[in-house]
Chain A
Amino acid sequence: MKPGTYFMDGNTACAEAAIAVGCTFFASYPITPATEILERMALRFPEIHGSYLQMEDELASIAAIMGASWAGRKAMTSTSGPGFSLMMENYGFALMTETPCVIVNVMRGGPSTGLPTMVAQGDVMQTRWGTHGDVGVVVYCPASPQEMFDLTVEAFNTAEKYRLPVVLLSDAMVAHMTEKVVIPSKEELTVVDRKKPTTSPDDYLPYCPDEDLVPPMACAGEGFGIHVTGLTHDERGYPSVDEETQTYLVTRLINKIRKNSHDILRYEEYRTEDADVIVVAYGSVSRSAREAVDMAREEGMKVGMLRPVTIWPFPEDRIGELAINGLKAFLVAEINFGQMVYEVQRCTEGHCPTYLSPRMGGSIHTPEELVERLYGIYHHEGEEGAP
């Protein structure tokens, strides 16, 4: 699309961002509330010479985008909770084989078929621990249609730079919301492409990392004769089923994210400079939280908001820092029974209490109910039985 200002829904913005950043392969399966992405791609791909496939299920969708990624394409799939559950096996394969791709999960109410058309945030821990084994992951959490655009671009760039499947964890509210979206020009857009090998095919070791722990990637048809396997593999990419290789490989895959988290990690702070209580919120809920902060400030409460933009890696150092420096409490507002709250609790190391404002799905917190909760914490924290 031409650069400019549009009135656009989140799912459309996501599809347009993928196209803008150079995604030319898309495979997906219809599912509410993510279907609009697939529909937009079907409409737009002929003109950009893209390959669009409606697969037989989500197992196939993620396998197809991995195949396309190894064919040298930038590739994406979109889904919601039930489909994301089906993708867990190959999410692990893509992490293990360091296959760059983007998975969009527009969260809806679960468990199981749950609330197909309504909002929830129940997949937070699934993106972190849903696949078997130890993994390091990157997950972005957009809070507006504009961020659906911006973070899709960033998800592709991170996927290419660090060679892994990156998840864009949206929710039904943000995905179906129509708002102002600014599409930048080509010059304003940062586009990162994967590192290519600089050695000859004879000297090339497909899983020998550079200093940033990321190995350069040769694709099919480039004459390198690569072998890719989900088995524990050595630097040649060959299966090597022993403890030493496993330790070396898995440690590197986790450190790849850990040691580069200064580059990947993103969070936003709103009026936290003098705050006594901080609301931690992400995705659609952060919009209510922002409003609640303003309302509480008007009532004289020193309240702020911390919004993780990457929920993985998590802003753990910043939360620890805030907890140590005399914060009264954290309030975590999320549309689930408590998932990120445990992460916040872990990071405070007991230096300040962490409260949860849970919600079961279907709608987001209202600013008023958050203000009420903040009032209780702000004025009664430390008293017996409070808040």
Chain B
Amino acid sequence: MSIRKSRNYFSPEYMSQQKGKDMGYGLHPLDDYLRKDRIPHIWCPGCGLGVVLSSFLRALENTGIPMEKTAVVSGIGCTGRVAGYLNIDSFHLTHGRAIPFATGLKIGNPHMMTTVFSGDGDLFAIGGNHFIHAARRNVDFNVICVNNFNFGMTGGQSGPTTPTEATTTTTPFGGFEHPFNLPGVAAGSGAVYVARWTTYHVEALINSLEEALNKKGFCFIEVLAPCPTGYGRRTGQKTGKDTMKYYRDNSRIEHGADPTKVSLDGGEIVVGKFVDRDAPTYQERRGEIFQAIRDKMGVK
């Protein structure tokens, strides 16, 4: 019996083998948004990331914002790889630092429609402090958090969103820490738009993303996504389909629900748009104050 060698999708040999092959690229209406030479992607069968990515691209297309005025910033992890597949200005940062980088990018060039696309571990474990402060400042960009309840890229370790009793490679006897309630954290920190969906709620997710893209201020969308390889197979959802069924059977849509009362800990999933309010952004407030100073000083 021969041992199957894992394929290096990034090797020049593999890439040259794929050249000229009809891989179906160009057949999908959203293909222009993707870097042709980076396909196929690294995500596992049954992963929810493709759904979130295509929902984001559909929302982006609906807004009509030109591609050259769009930037995506990602951190480390499976979701962190999103930036690399997009045919726009895209940045793949160090672990947890996507948000402060995006803060600099957006304030440095306010014309860029900036979105942070990253995972629950990246944004809320190693990057948690940056998240609450960006929300507090109300910097004008969007954060999409793909929550698969574990550290997927490193093979399924427990993280800040893992339900308390879930078994992972680092909680082999079941966990004992309480998970974060992400919409609660976002709303409590000052986000002006907070929503949660799952990869089962594609149309609602697209609408929500479109709303966030068009809205000024710090917008946060949590998307629950299956991770059969890292998480599902140890928690009774062996395939992506099992998790999708779980979402279908356990989700309840409640717009305007109190974001502090939508915790996820293995039971019911409350989805919907929880917060949608208006507040002056960091740039607006600063612009006003700085202008007043300039007027007082008599400088242009």
Contacts and interface: CB of A to CB of B under 8 A. Distances in A.
A239 B9 CA distance: 10
Interface string A206-232: 000000000000011111111111110
Contact of A67 (B83, B87, B102, B129): B102
B293 A221 contact: no
Contacts, number: 159
B35 interface: yes
B68 A225 contact: yes
Interface in A264-291: none
Given A47-B297, A72-B108, A93-B94, A63 B129 contact: no
A187 interface: no
B89 A63 contact: no
B184 interface: no
Q: Chain A CB within 10 Å — which of B38, B93, B112, B133 has the most?
A: B93
B176 interface: no
Given A227-B90, A231-B92, A60 B130 contact: yes
B8 A225 contact: no
A66 B101 contact: yes
Nearest to B69: A221
A65 B69 CA distance: 20
A67 B297 CA distance: 30
Contact of A220 (B37, B92, B109): B109
Contacts of A64: 100-101, 103-104, 107
Contact of A229 (B68, B84, B112): B84
Q: How large is the interface on B (under 10, 10 to 19, 20 to 34, 35 or more residues)?
A: 35 or more
A134 interface: no
B88 A67 contact: no
Interface residues of A, number: 49
Contact of A68 (B37, B73, B93, B105): B105
Given A60-B133, A239-B84, A220 B94 contact: no
Contacts of B37: 236, 238
Interface in A52-78: 53, 55-57, 59-61, 63-73, 75
B262 interface: no
Main secondary structure of the interface of B (DSSP, over half): helix
A227 to B, nearest CB: 5
Nearest to B11: A242
Interface in B72-119: 73, 83-84, 87-94, 96-97, 99-109, 111-112
A66 B69 CA distance: 18
A60 B94 contact: no
B67 interface: yes
B294 interface: yes
Contacts of A75: 104, 108
Contacts of B106: 67, 71
B92 A73 contact: no
A10 to B, nearest CB: 26
A93 B130 contact: no
A348 interface: no
A83 B198 CA distance: 39
B92 A72 contact: no
Interface string B194-228: 00000000000000000000000000000000000
Contacts of A49: 290
Contacts of A221: 68-69, 71, 89, 109, 111-112
Interface in B101-147: 101-109, 111-112, 129-130, 133
Interface in B158-205: none
Contact of B105 (A47, A71, A238): A71
Q: Chain A CB within 10 Å — which of B35, B73, B91 has the most?
A: B91
B10 A241 contact: yes
A242 B35 CA distance: 20
Interface in B270-300: 286, 289-290, 293-294, 297, 299
Contacts of A227: 35, 83-84, 89-92
A226 B73 CA distance: 12
Given A25-B108, A51-B108, A57-B129, A223 B103 contact: no
Given A221-B109, A226-B89, A241-B8, 6 more contacts: A47-B294, A51-B108, A60-B129, A63-B101, A67-B106, A227-B91
Interface of A: 25, 27, 45-47, 49, 51, 53, 55-57, 59-61, 63-73, 75, 89-90, 93, 219-231, 236, 238-242, 244
Shortest beta-carbon contacts, A-B, top 7: A67-B104, A71-B108, A68-B108, A64-B104, A63-B100, A60-B100, A71-B109
